[in-house]
C-alpha cells in the first residue's frame, strides 16, 4: 500500500485488478471528456467571437466612409444650388445670344472649378441656343464626347436623373457602369416639353471619392483590407482601373445579400481559392453599398494561434490528468481492496469458485447474492418445515383424535403454535370451492391458490371472535377447526358469510360451508369431521354458496319423502322422447324433480341414476324401429349427471339432453317426410320432361300443394330451383339424343320439351360450353 505516490509503479497494480481498472478508466474518461469539451468549446467560440469583433471594427470604418460620402454629397449639393442661383450662370442658361461679357462669365466658371479640389468640370446647358458652356479649359478643348454624353442625358426632363451623383463612363451610353470617369450632379427646371430648356451639371472627380475610400481603409490598424463601392445592380464602381476577377465574383455573391435591404452585416466568401471576410453597409445615399474586404486567414490568424495553444495545453493536461487519475483511482480503490481481501480470506473455496469473477465488486455482489439466497432458502425451508409439521399435527388431531389424550393434545398444540387447545368447545366446518373437482383436474395449482386465499381470509375474519385453524385434509375441500372462547357458535355463520363475500369480491370465487355439530371433547373431532363431511353433500339441495347447518340435513326442502318415480310419469317421459315433444318432456322432468327434491341425498342420487337409465333405454327402443336412428352420446350422460354439484344443475343437464333428443326426433321425422316428397317431384319431372308446359305450377297442381311451398321445399333440399332441375333433366336427354341418334336440332328440342330455340342454345352452351352441332361433331370425331 506504500506505492500510491509513485505513478509508474501503479500501472502493474492496475493491470492485475479489474475493478481498479474500471475506476481508473472512469476517472480518466470523465477528465478527457471535460478537457476535450472545454477545448473544443474554446476553439469553436473563439472564431465566432473574433469574426463578430472584426465585423464591429469594420463597421466603424464603413461608418466613417459613409459619413465622408454624405459630406461630399452635401458639399456638391450646396455648390450646385449656389451656382444654379448665380446671376452669371442664369444668363448663361437663359441667354438667346452671346454678348461681350460671355467670356468673362465662362472664365468665372473656370476659376470656380480651379479653386475646388473635387470638381472635375461644370457644364451649363442653354436650351435657347442648344449649346453647352463649359467651366474647365482643358475639357473645352475635348468637349465633343462630353457634349454628346450630356445631350443624350438631357433629351427628356422626365427621365433625366437630377439632384444625385451619377457615375459616368464616357465610352458607354447611359449611366451605371463599373468604370467611372467622374460623377455628374444635374440641376434643371421642370419642363412640359420633351427636351430641357436649361440645366446645370457639376462633374465630380471620381478619384476624389475612391481615394478617400482607400485612405480610410488603409488606416484600419495596418490590416490589408480593401474598400469598395457597389451600386444597386451589384456592380463595383472604380476610377477607371479594371477590377480583378475575384472582386467581381465577390460582388456577384454579395449582391443578393445586399439586395435583402439589410443595413449591415458580414459574410465569408471564397473566391479564387481563398476566403475573404467581407463587411458591408448601406451607404445611405442612392442605392450604393459600402464594402470592406479582408483576407479571412489574416482575420482569424490570432484564432489559429489560439487553437494551437489550446491544443498543446489540452495534450499537456491530458497527460497530467492520466497520472492524477492513476493516483486518485488507487486511493479510491484502497477500501475496496481491503474488503475484497478480507472476504476472500474468510470465504470457503467452493463459494469463491461459484461466485462470478468479472471484477472485484461483481465478485463481492455475486458472493453476497449467493449467501443471501442460501439464507433465504434456509429460512424458507425452516418456515416450510414448521408449516408442514403444523399441518401434519392438525391432520392427526382431526383424523386420529381418539388416539390422543387431552394432555398430549395440549402439548402438540403448544409445540406447533396452534391457535386451538384441548379445553373443548369445538365445531368442525368443511369448505368446498364451487367446481372444485373440475378445477382439481384442469388447474390444480389454481385450486391450491384458492385454498390458500380462503384459509388466510377465514383465519383473519373468524379469529376476531373464535380460535381457528385451517387444514386441507383432502385436495377438494378445507377443514375449519373452530374453538369458541366464551359464548356459543351463534355468530359463526355470519362470520363465514363475511368470508364468502370477501373471497368472492377479490377472487370471483364462491364456496359452500358445512358447519358441524359442536363437540366438547377433543377426542371426538374425528367423528365430528365425518359428520360435517357428510353434511357438505347436502349442498346438492340448497345450491351454491350455501352455509349448511346440521338441522338442514334431516329435512331437505320441507321433509323426507319417497324418491320412487311413478310409473305414469316414466311412461309420459318415454312417450315424449319417442314423439319428439320437448314441452311434454320438460313437464315430466319438472314433476320428477319435485318428487326427488323431498328425499334424502342417497335416495335422490339413486332416483336420478334410474331416470338416466330410463332415458337411455327409451332411446335404444326408438332407434330399433327407425331408418335414421337418434345419434347422441348417452354413455357419458349418467356420469355427467352425477358430476353436477347441485340438484338444479342436474335438472338443467336432464332438460338440455331431452331437448336435444326431441329436436333430433323432429328433424328425423321431417327429413323422412321431405325425402319422400322430393323423390316424388323428381319422378314427375323425369316422366314429363317432354311436356312443354311442365313447370313448378304444374307439378304443384299435380301434388295438390302450394307452388310456393313446393318450390321452397325443393330448393332447400336440392340447392337449386325446380325450374333449374327441369332444365337439367332436359339437357341430359338432349346430350343422349345427340350422341346416339341422327336427330335434327328441332327434333331434339321437340322431344326434350324446349319450345324456344334461343333459350335452348343458350342453356346448352352454358352447361356444356359449346353448341349442339359442335358437340355432336366432337363426339363423332372422337
Confidence of residue 176 (pLDDT cuts 50, 70, 90): very low
Q: Which three cell numbers stand for residue 355?
A: 461466485
Q: Is residue 1 part of a domain?
A: no
| Selection from 552, 577, 450 nearest residue 493 by Cα | 552
Do 448 and 534 fall within a single domain? yes
CATH number at residue 491: 3.30.70.270
Q: Is residue 504 part of a domain?
A: yes
Using the 8-state DSSP alphabet, how is residue 266 labeled?
A: E
Q: Which three cell numbers stand for residue 674?
A: 321431405
Do 397 and 484 fall within a single domain? yes
Beta strand 119-126 with 289-295 is unpaired
Entry pTM: 0.43
Q: Judge contact between 454 and 557, C-beta under 8 A.
A: no
Confidence (pLDDT) at 748:
85
Which range is most confident: 184-198, 533-547, 618-632, 665-679?
533-547
Q: Is residue 619 part of a domain?
A: yes
Confidence of residue 172 (pLDDT cuts 50, 70, 90): confident
Confidence (pLDDT) at 8:
40
Confidence (pLDDT) at 326:
76
Do 393 and 541 fall within a single domain? yes
Do 490 and 459 fall within a single domain? yes
Which range is most confident: 218-222, 442-446, 576-580?
576-580
Angle at 120 (CA atoms; ends 118, 123), nearest 5 degrees: 125
Q: Judge contact between 497 and 503, C-beta under 8 A.
A: no
Do 740 and 663 fall within a single domain? no
Confidence of residue 653 (pLDDT cuts 50, 70, 90): confident
Do 661 and 693 fall within a single domain? no
Do 189 and 133 fall within a single domain? yes
Beta strand 547-548 with 511-515 is parallel
Q: Judge contact between 456 and 507, C-beta under 8 A.
A: no
Question: What is 393-406 written as a DSSP string?
Answer: HHHHHHHSGGGS-H
Total count of domains within the chain: 4
Q: Is residue 740 part of a domain?
A: yes
Confidence (pLDDT) at 461:
92
Do 119 and 196 fall within a single domain? yes
Task: Provide the β-strand partners of residue 167.
Answer: 183
Q: Among 496, 515, 546, which residue terminates a domain?
A: 546
Confidence of residue 435 (pLDDT cuts 50, 70, 90): confident
Q: Which three cell numbers stand for residue 310?
A: 489550446
* Sheet with 274-282: strands ordered across: 236-237, 226-230, 289-295, 274-282, 264-271
Q: 604 lies in which domain range?
A: 567-668
SS (HEC) of 431-444:
EEECCHHHHHHHCH
d(CA 204, CA 184): 6
CATH number at residue 716: 1.10.10.60
Flag whether pLDDT at 12 surpasses 60: no
Q: Is residue 194 part of a domain?
A: yes
d(CA 547, CA 600): 18
Confidence (pLDDT) at 781:
73
Q: Judge contact between 663 and 620, C-beta under 8 A.
A: no
d(CA 258, CA 287): 10
d(CA 418, CA 423): 13
Between 240 and 27, residue with greater pLDDT: 27
Confidence of residue 1 (pLDDT cuts 50, 70, 90): very low
- pLDDT digits 0-9 by tens, 305-318: 777 777 787 788 77
With both helix axes pointing from N to C terminus, report the angle between 745-752 and 722-740 in degrees, rounded to the nearest 10.
140
Do 615 and 723 fall within a single domain? no
d(CA 298, CA 223): 8
Among 27-31, 254-258, 729-733, the minimum mean pLDDT is found in: 254-258
d(CA 324, CA 396): 74
Q: Among 184, 208, 232, which residue terminates a domain?
A: 208
Rounded average pLDDT over 483-509: 87
d(CA 2, CA 443): 67
Do 204 and 132 fall within a single domain? yes
Flag whether pLDDT at 661 surpasses 60: yes
Helices (H) then strands (E): counts for the chain = 29, 15
Rounded average pLDDT over 671-678: 68
Q: Is residue 717 part of a domain?
A: yes
Q: Judge contact between 394 and 471, C-beta under 8 A.
A: yes
Do 765 and 640 fall within a single domain? no
The whole-angstrom distance between residue 284's C-alpha and the CA centroid of its chain comes to 58
Q: Judge contact between 573 and 587, C-beta under 8 A.
A: no
Flag whether pLDDT at 726 surpasses 70: yes
Between 359 and 535, residue with greater pLDDT: 535
User: Phi-psi bin for 284: left (phi > 0), alpha (psi -120 to 50), beta?
Assistant: left
Flag whether pLDDT at 374 surpasses 90: no
d(CA 662, CA 649): 20
Rounded average pLDDT over 554-570: 64
Residues 6+ apart with CB under 8 A from 758: none
Q: Judge contact between 198 and 93, C-beta under 8 A.
A: yes
Q: Around Cβ 555, how many Cβ atoms within 10 Å?
A: 11
SS (HEC) of 469-518:
EEEEEECCEEEEEEEECCCCCCCHHHHHHHHHHHHHHHHCCCEEEEECCC
Rounded average pLDDT over 400-417: 84
Average pLDDT, the chain: 79
Q: Which three cell numbers stand for residue 713?
A: 321445399
- pLDDT digits 0-9 by tens, 202-225: 888 877 777 777 777 666 545 667
d(CA 418, CA 470): 10
Detail the DSSP E strand segments found in 360-447. Answer: 426-433
Q: Is residue 451 part of a domain?
A: yes
Confidence (pLDDT) at 521:
87
Q: Judge contact between 248 and 293, C-beta under 8 A.
A: no
Q: What are phi and psi of 406, to 5 degrees?
A: -55, -35
Q: Is residue 727 part of a domain?
A: yes
d(CA 669, CA 663): 10
Confidence of residue 13 (pLDDT cuts 50, 70, 90): very low
Using the 8-state DSSP alphabet, how is residue 243 labeled?
A: P
Do 540 and 421 fall within a single domain? yes
Q: What are phi and psi of 282, to 5 degrees?
A: -65, 135
Amino acid at each position: 500500500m506504500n506505492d500510491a505516490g509513485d505513478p509508474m509503479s501503479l500501472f502493474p497494480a492496475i493491470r492485475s485488478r479489474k475493478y481498479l481498472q474500471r475506476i481508473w478508466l472512469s476517472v480518466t474518461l470523465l477528465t478527457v471528456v471535460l478537457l476535450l469539451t472545454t477545448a473544443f468549446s474554446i476553439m469553436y467560440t473563439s472564431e465566432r467571437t473574433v469574426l463578430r469583433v472584426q465585423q464591429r471594427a469594420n463597421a466603424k470604418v464603413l461608418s466613417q466612409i459613409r459619413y465622408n460620402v454624405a459630406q461630399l454629397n452635401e458639399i456638391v449639393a450646396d455648390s450646385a444650388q449656389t451656382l444654379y442661383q448665380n446671376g452669371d450662370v442664369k444668363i448663361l442658361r437663359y441667354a438667346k445670344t452671346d454678348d461681350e461679357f460671355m467670356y468673362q462669365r465662362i472664365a468665372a466658371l473656370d476659376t470656380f472649378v480651379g479653386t475646388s479640389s473635387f470638381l472635375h468640370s461644370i457644364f451649363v446647358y442653354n436650351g435657347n441656343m442648344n449649346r453647352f458652356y463649359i467651366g474647365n479649359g482643358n475639357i473645352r478643348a475635348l468637349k465633343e464626347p462630353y457634349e454628346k454624353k450630356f445631350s443624350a442625358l438631357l433629351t427628356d426632363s422626365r427621365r433625366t436623373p437630377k439632384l444625385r451623383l451619377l457615375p459616368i463612363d464616357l465610352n458607354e451610353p447611359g449611366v451605371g457602369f463599373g468604370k467611372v470617369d467622374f460623377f455628374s450632379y444635374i440641376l434643371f427646371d421642370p419642363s412640359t416639353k420633351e427636351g430641357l430648356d436649361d440645366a446645370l451639371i457639376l462633374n465630380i472627380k471620381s478619384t476624389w471619392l475612391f481615394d478617400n475610400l482607400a485612405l480610410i481603409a488603409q488606416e484600419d490598424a495596418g490590416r490589408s483590407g480593401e474598400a469598395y463601392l457597389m451600386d444597386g445592380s451589384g456592380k463595383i464602381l472604380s476610377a477607371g482601373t479594371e477590377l480583378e476577377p475575384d472582386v467581381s465574383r465577390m460582388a456577384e455573391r454579395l449582391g443578393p445579400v445586399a439586395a435583402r435591404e439589410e443595413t449591415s452585416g458580414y459574410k465569408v466568401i471564397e473566391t479564387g481559392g481563398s476566403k475573404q471576410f467581407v463587411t458591408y453597409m448601406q451607404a445611405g445615399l442612392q442605392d450604393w453599398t459600402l464594402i470592406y474586404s479582408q483576407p479571412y486567414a489574416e482575420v482569424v490568424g490570432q484564432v489559429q494561434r489560439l487553437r494551437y495553444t489550446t491544443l498543446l495545453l489540452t495534450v499537456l493536461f491530458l497527460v497530467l490528468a492520466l497520472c492524477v487519475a492513476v493516483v486518485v483511482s488507487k486511493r479510491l480503490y484502497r477500501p475496496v481492496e481491503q474488503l475484497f481481501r478480507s472476504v476472500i480470506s474468510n470465504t470457503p473455496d467452493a463459494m469463491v469458485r461459484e461466485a462470478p469473477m468479472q471484477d472485484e465488486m461483481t465478485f463481492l455482489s455475486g458472493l453476497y447474492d449467493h449467501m443471501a439466497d442460501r439464507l433465504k432458502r434456509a429460512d424458507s425451508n425452516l418456515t416450510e418445515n414448521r408449516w408442514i409439521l403444523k399441518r401434519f399435527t392438525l391432520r392427526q388431531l382431526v383424523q386420529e383424535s381418539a388416539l390422543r389424550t387431552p394432555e398430549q393434545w395440549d402439548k402438540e398444540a403448544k409445540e406447533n403454535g396452534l391457535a386451538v387447545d384441548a379445553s373443548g368447545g369445538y365445531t368442525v366446518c368443511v369448505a368446498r370451492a364451487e367446481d372444485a373437482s373440475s378445477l382439481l383436474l384442469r388447474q390444480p395449482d389454481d385450486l391450491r391458490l384458492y385454498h390458500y386465499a380462503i384459509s388466510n381470509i377465514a383465519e383473519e375474519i373468524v379469529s376476531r371472535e373464535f380460535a381457528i385453524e385451517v387444514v386441507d385434509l383432502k385436495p377438494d375441500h378445507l377443514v375449519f377447526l373452530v374453538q369458541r372462547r366464551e359464548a356459543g357458535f351463534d355468530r359463526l355463520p355470519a362470520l363465514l358469510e363475511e368470508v364468502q363475500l370477501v373471497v368472492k369480491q377479490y377472487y370471483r370465487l364462491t364456496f359452500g360451508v358445512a358447519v358441524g355439530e359442536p363437540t366438547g371433547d377433543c377426542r371426538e373431532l374425528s367423528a365430528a369431521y365425518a359428520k360435517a363431511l357428510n353434511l357438505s353433500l347436502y349442498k346438492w339441495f340448497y345450491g351454491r354458496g350455501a352455509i349448511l347447518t346440521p338441522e338442514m340435513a334431516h329435512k331437505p326442502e320441507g321433509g323426507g319423502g319417497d324418491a320412487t318415480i311413478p310409473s305414469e310419469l316414466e311412461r309420459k317421459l318415454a312417450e315424449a322422447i319417442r314423439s319428439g315433444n320437448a314441452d311434454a318432456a320438460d313437464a315430466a322432468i319438472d314433476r320428477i324433480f319435485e318428487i326427488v327434491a323431498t328425499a334424502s341425498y342417497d335416495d335422490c342420487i339413486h332416483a336420478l341414476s334410474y331416470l338416466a337409465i330410463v332415458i337411455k333405454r327409451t332411446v335404444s327402443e326408438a332407434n330399433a324401429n327407425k331408418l335414421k336412428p337418434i345419434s347422441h352420446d348417452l354413455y357419458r350422460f349418467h356420469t355427467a349427471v352425477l358430476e353436477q354439484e347441485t340438484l338444479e344443475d342436474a335438472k338443467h343437464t336432464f332438460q338440455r339432453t331431452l331437448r336435444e333428443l326431441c329436436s333430433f326426433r323432429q328433424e328425423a321425422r321431417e327429413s323422412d317426410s321431405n325425402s319422400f316428397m322430393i323423390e316424388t317431384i323428381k319422378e314427375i319431372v323425369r316422366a314429363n320432361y317432354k311436356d312443354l308446359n311442365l313447370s313448378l305450377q304444374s307439378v304443384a297442381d299435380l301434388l295438390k300443394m302450394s307452388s310456393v311451398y313446393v318450390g321452397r321445399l325443393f330448393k332447400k333440399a336440392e340447392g337449386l330451383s325446380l325450374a333449374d332441375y327441369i332444365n337439367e333433366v332436359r339437357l341430359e336427354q338432349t346430350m343422349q339424343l345427340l350422341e346416339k341418334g341422327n336427330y335434327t336440332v328441332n327434333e331434339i328440342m321437340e322431344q326434350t320439351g324446349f319450345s324456344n330455340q334461343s333459350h335452348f342454345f343458350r342453356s346448352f352452351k352454358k352447361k356444356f360450353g359449346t353448341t349442339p352441332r359442335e358437340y355432336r361433331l366432337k363426339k363423332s370425331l372422337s
